[in-house]
Amino acid sequence: MYEASANFHYSFQAQTNQVSKILDKIKLPDTPSVFTLELTSACNHHCEGCGNVFSHDEEYLKYDDWKEIINKIKKHAFSLRVTGGECTLHPEFDLIIKEIEKLKVPYVIFTNGDWMSPDEMLNLFKSCQHCDGLLISLHGYDAESYYSFVKTEAFDRIVANIEKSVKAGLKVALNTVLNKYNYQKIEKIVKLGKSLGVFSIAFSRYCGQNLNEFELSKQEFLTVFHQIIQFNKHDKSIVFNNCVPACFDSEGYPTKACTSGIIHCTIGPDGFVRPCTHSPLKLGKINEKSIEEIWRSDGLKYWHSLIPENCLNCALFNQCRGGCRATAYHKNLQQDPFINFSNIKKTKDVETQTLKINSNARLSVNYRIKTQDFGYFLINRNRHIPVKKEAAPILSYLNKSPQIKDIEDKYGKQALNFVGTLIVAGLVLIE
């Protein structure tokens, strides 16, 4: 892995203007609020396109170290992702999970589903109060396509464990990295996921160095990308998992805005903080620096400076944030290879959605608040909505679970529409 100070050559003087423009657009919080914990580098699979930036040499921090880290991030963490390597292989996995539970924030466990003692593992998962569920990797639709990517004969075991997990009442989402062995048969993965009763089926683009044998060409990716978008139109549980630049094709389908180095950071099995799970860029060691210090570091500024300048002129910037910088790094490119500046949108089609709501409907908040110099972040898991300080009276009033008509009576039409947007975003619930 790389350390920003040692291995990256960059000049912030030249990039200061660009970085400040970027920071102004993205509303960088003073600390991250979504933490990915890579508990161990160990893994029992040998995926061709493994997304880890370390080798599976079984380097890991002990329970006591993770306990200290969990305590350190306690006041900053609004949600967590627990991963590895294969996180369940950590010899003190159960103790670490119990420590995470003490934070009382939602978290997801990312696993390959190949557990030594499935019943024991399921009992542990079932005892978790704050775990939202499992994200289980399933990179093929049958034993052959699975083996082609994972290089481990485990398909039947994984499918059986997914089935057991669902029957045990756990929420399971599937994750499939698109590759040459599966991209023409994604309907088979969807069918398999549905038959297993999973609640979501997610597809990801490969993020790593060039692997021509199984990596999709742009055209192949575009075809399957459109297919997933069509699936999603009819079934919201079929989703795209990571970011594809909005300018990738002329239709301008933004997938997910990259959150890495903005609201999200990864803590590796060596205790170093990185902006992204797929990036080797080290920002500092968690037990040597404060989170605030790390989030103000030159390394993080460097990470932001990797957003291409042209992207700042794009009307969809906040829905995209410049594609995948980790992919650009792995391929030794200046920018995500899927970026196509000729498709950049200078203006955004603004559609106003009309909501008819019963005036007596009662509201309840479905967010937590993070106070910043510029205003507030309203947060529920990945969703972070930055709002101005002037919204404070409305936010305070919403805590009283008012009827929606009271919002208009007390604060007027703008406030009503403000609350409407939060309802659409799922951050305010109505009865």
Contacts (CB under 8 A) with another protein, residues 284-323: 316-319
> Closer CB to another protein, residue 286 or residue 316?
316
> Closer CB to another protein, residue 40 or residue 327?
327
Beta partners for residue 368, in sequence order: 379
> Which residues are CB-contacts of 396 (< 8 A; sequence separation ≥ 6)?
none
Beta partners for residue 369, in sequence order: 378
Distance CA 48, CA 56 (A): 13
Least spacing, CB of residue 370 vs another protein, in Å: 8
Residue 340 sits in the site that holds another protein (CB under 8 A): no
| Site mask for another protein (CB under 8 A), range 357-386, x = bound | xxxxx--xxxxxxxx--xxx---xxxx-xx
> Closer CB to another protein, residue 95 or residue 315?
315
Distance CA 261, CA 274 (A): 8
Task: Count Cβ atoms within 10 A of the Cβ of residue 145 and give its class: 0-12 exposed, 13-18 middle, 19 or more buried.
Answer: buried
Residue 350 sits in the site that holds another protein (CB under 8 A): yes
Among 75, 233, 354, 373, interactor with another protein by CB under 8 A: 354
Among 102, 144, 390, 400, interactor with another protein by CB under 8 A: 390
**Which residues within the stretch 189-228 sit at the binding site for another protein (CB under 8 A)?**
199-200, 202, 204
Which string of DSSP letters, residue by residue, matches 268-323?
Answer: -TTSEEES-TT--EE-EETTTS-HHHHHTSHHHHHHHHTS-GGGGG-TTHHHHSSS
> Which residues are CB-contacts of 212 (< 8 A; sequence separation ≥ 6)?
none
Among 33, 182, 260, 305, interactor with another protein by CB under 8 A: 260
From the list 337, 276, 266, 270, the residue with the least C-alpha distance to 304 is 276
Distance CA 117, CA 213 (A): 34
| Stretch of 154-162, 179-187, 338-346, 391-399 contacting another protein, by CB under 8 A | 391-399
Which residue matches tokens 């998962």?
Answer: 125
Residue 273 sits in the site that holds another protein (CB under 8 A): no
| Stretch of 39-47, 141-149, 290-298, 402-410 contacting another protein, by CB under 8 A | 402-410
Residue 399 sits in the site that holds another protein (CB under 8 A): yes
Residue 416 sits in the site that holds another protein (CB under 8 A): yes
Fill in the amino acid letter for 162: I
| Site mask for another protein (CB under 8 A), range 109-148, x = bound | ----------------xx-xxxxxx-x-------------
Start-to-end CA distance of the chain, whole Å, equals 50
Residue 22 sits in the site that holds another protein (CB under 8 A): no
> Closer CB to another protein, residue 7 or residue 358?
358
Residue 256 sits in the site that holds another protein (CB under 8 A): yes
Residue 337 sits in the site that holds another protein (CB under 8 A): no
**Which residues within the stretch 68-87 sit at the binding site for another protein (CB under 8 A)?**
79, 81
Residues in the chain, how many? 431
Residue 425 sits in the site that holds another protein (CB under 8 A): yes
Least spacing, CB of residue 307 vs another protein, in Å: 14
Helices (H), 86-131: 93-101, 118-126
Neighbours of 306 (CB within 10 A): 22
**Which residues within the stretch 151-170 sit at the binding site for another protein (CB under 8 A)?**
169-170
Least spacing, CB of residue 22 vs another protein, in Å: 14
